[in-house]
Chains A and B, each alone.
Chain A
Amino acid sequence: MSTGAIIVAVCSMTLLWGGFAICLRIAMKPENK
């Protein structure tokens, strides 16, 4: 894989899965349950 492809893969995965994880964490807070 080219460097550009690796950077795109890592950044997009981080953004989407990371974003989902952050939202999930907010939802799991006791005051939001």
Chain B
Amino acid sequence: MSKEENRGQWGSRSGFILAAIGSAIGLGNIWRFPYVAASNGGGAFLIPYLVALFTAGIPLLILEFAMGHKIRSSAPGVFAKLNKKYEAIGWFQTLIAFFITTYYVVIIAWSFSYMFFAFTGAWGADPKAFLFGEYLNLTDNPLNLGGLNLKVAVPLLLVWGINYGVLRMGVKNGLEKANKIFMPLLIVALLVIVVRGVTLPGAMDGLDYFFSPDFSKLSDPNVWLAAYGQIFFSLSICFAIMYAYASYLPKKSDIVNNAFMTGLGNCSFSLISGIGVFSILGFMAHQQGVSVADVSSAGVGLAFIVFPTAINQLPGMNGLIGAIFFITLIFAGLSSSMSIMEAVVAAIADKFKLTRTQALNRFAIASGALSLLVATDGGLYVLDIVDYATNQYGIVIAGILELVVLGWLFNLESVRTYVNELSDFAIGKWWIYAIKGTSFLLVLILALKIKGEIAAPYEGYSWDALGVYGLGVMMIITLGSFIMSKKKASDEFHDAIYKETLGNELKIED
């Protein structure tokens, strides 16, 4: 059996593209993008958004696809192949993926519960009271976790079961086949929501709010930062996923066009979901006699409070449309969660030469146990703070470290030559400037974030809570990445990665 077959390999190009788009399309495309766009200039936001896609999102995808494909290893292997000292950066990204898994699966579990609640109307006339009270049984403060919430833990077991089953079947028979089923179903479910949404009274007001351009916002630097932030967080870049996915590509594979399709596919989906979300918000505002801005929200509030309220007010087929909405969240969530898990499983399997099942078992036990913490009565607080810490700080720091090493210390021209040699079409020198420029932007985003944090702690949480779940998790990730990079590697990893480092450029003939 060849080395590639041992690690697993995509069976087809379409399988890889669907899996990469499936990874990029997640809950954020449905519940974050529409709100960010509408509150940052509406239609005018799409200008910085597209600029960010072409100057940061796609260039970073090309970089990660190229390195994963060439080195044929997960993130720790990619960085260790450049220089053993950099391996910790790969583990830093991998551990971010590990912690994101612990809460991401819980949100998918809620979506499963709500899919059934849509038919029974369990949330009643007050979805907010139902979510925080009857369903989550939320405690009074973040440091009081209460007990395990079985209403969350039972669907959580189902979510883990699906992810475990898919990952255990491998790259071609598991990830590829699952994405070939989930992605078309996701698109169909979203289109049903869009068609239902735009045919409701008041839908056009919602779409007007979403698309109407306020060009004066283009002179606001915060709008541009929001656009780069949205692109950055939406494409599954800088937290180990795309290295692992690209490492399963056959040797003769396109890089550039695959990256363009992944980026464009992700953003096209976001736009459609924005139409679905805002047409229904427009209907809801129409029913309540308020403006669309008054009902516009994002995240957990949009999915589990605002949408159930809107579903209550639908003129017919409430249960069915509600269930289909939560099915879109489930499919979008699963296609992302399995990619996040794969990033960790691949890293463990590569370094310690474990079989896929051995690595998966170790990962599932550790991450599954931690996810139970998020399935407690106070789990929503843990979820919120860990999500904030890993996304707003962890991924940005990981991105800065990645771009310092790959963007400034590594010879990007050699990467450009490498991808142009393989790809359907070539990229020019603009790509190098885009990568280097993005590194400055990430530093700026991080600096502004820290400045804002000092002025007002996130969501008014106590410093104790932010320290335990936010800073605590970030410290575990940092320490863990050094510990993992110092652990003894298998002989195979030693020979393939440490023994012959790449230096600072990619060589095509290798």
Residues of chain A touching chain B, judged by Cβ–Cβ distance below 8 Å, are: 1-2, 4-6, 8-9, 12-13, 15-17, 19-20, 23-24, 26-27, 29, 32-33
The smallest beta-carbon distance between B233 and chain A, in angstroms, is 18
The smallest beta-carbon distance between A7 and chain B, in angstroms, is 8
- Residues of chain A within 8 A (CB-CB) of B204 are 1
- Residues of chain A within 8 A (CB-CB) of B271 are 12-13, 16
4 closest pairs, A vs B, by CB? A8-B43, A5-B211, A20-B264, A16-B268
Assuming A8-B212, A8-B213, what are 18 further A-B pairs, CB within 8 angstroms? A4-B211, A4-B212, A6-B211, A8-B44, A8-B211, A9-B43, A12-B43, A12-B271, A16-B264, A16-B268, A19-B264, A23-B260, A23-B261, A26-B257, A27-B13, A27-B424, A32-B254, A32-B424
The smallest beta-carbon distance between B442 and chain A, in angstroms, is 24
Query: In this assembly, does B368 line the interface, its C-beta being within 8 Å of a C-beta of chain A?
Result: no
- Residues of chain B within 8 A (CB-CB) of A26 are 257, 424-425
Query: In this assembly, does B50 line the interface, its C-beta being within 8 Å of a C-beta of chain A?
Result: yes
Q: Which one, B212, B213, B261, contacts A27 given CB within 8 A?
A: B261
- Residues of chain B within 8 A (CB-CB) of A27 are 13, 17, 254, 257-258, 261, 424
- Residues of chain B within 8 A (CB-CB) of A12 are 43, 46, 50, 271
- Residues of chain B within 8 A (CB-CB) of A8 are 42-44, 46, 211-213
Distance between Cα atoms of A10 and B344 in the complex (Å): 40
- Residues of chain A within 8 A (CB-CB) of B50 are 12, 15-16
- Residues of chain B within 8 A (CB-CB) of A24 are 261
The smallest beta-carbon distance between A2 and chain B, in angstroms, is 6
Q: Contacts A4-B212, A5-B211, A8-B211 known; A17 to B268 CB distance under 8 Å?
A: yes
Instruction: Count residues of chain B with CB under 8 A from any CB of chain A.
Output: 27
Distance between Cα atoms of A26 and B13 in the complex (Å): 13
Q: Which one, A4, A16, A33, contacts B43 given CB within 8 A?
A: A4
Q: Quick one: CB contact mask for B441-469 with A, threshold 8 Å, 1 for yes?
A: 00000000000000000000000000000
Distance between Cα atoms of A15 and B271 in the complex (Å): 11
The smallest beta-carbon distance between A28 and chain B, in angstroms, is 10
Distance between Cα atoms of A17 and B275 in the complex (Å): 14
Cβ-defined contact, B208 with A20, below 8 A:
no
Q: List 8 A-B contacts (CB under 8 A).
A: A1-B208, A5-B213, A8-B42, A8-B211, A9-B43, A13-B268, A17-B268, A32-B424
Cβ-defined contact, B213 with A4, below 8 A:
yes
Cβ-defined contact, A20 with B207, below 8 A:
no
Query: In this assembly, does B8 line the interface, its C-beta being within 8 Å of a C-beta of chain A?
Result: no
The smallest beta-carbon distance between B223 and chain A, in angstroms, is 15
- Residue on B with the closest CB to A5? B211
Query: In this assembly, does B242 line the interface, its C-beta being within 8 Å of a C-beta of chain A?
Result: no
- Residues of chain A within 8 A (CB-CB) of B208 are 1-2, 5
Distance between Cα atoms of A33 and B260 in the complex (Å): 16
Cβ-defined contact, A16 with B257, below 8 A:
no
- Residues of chain B within 8 A (CB-CB) of A5 are 42-43, 207-208, 210-213
Distance between Cα atoms of A33 and B275 in the complex (Å): 34
Distance between Cα atoms of A13 and B43 in the complex (Å): 11
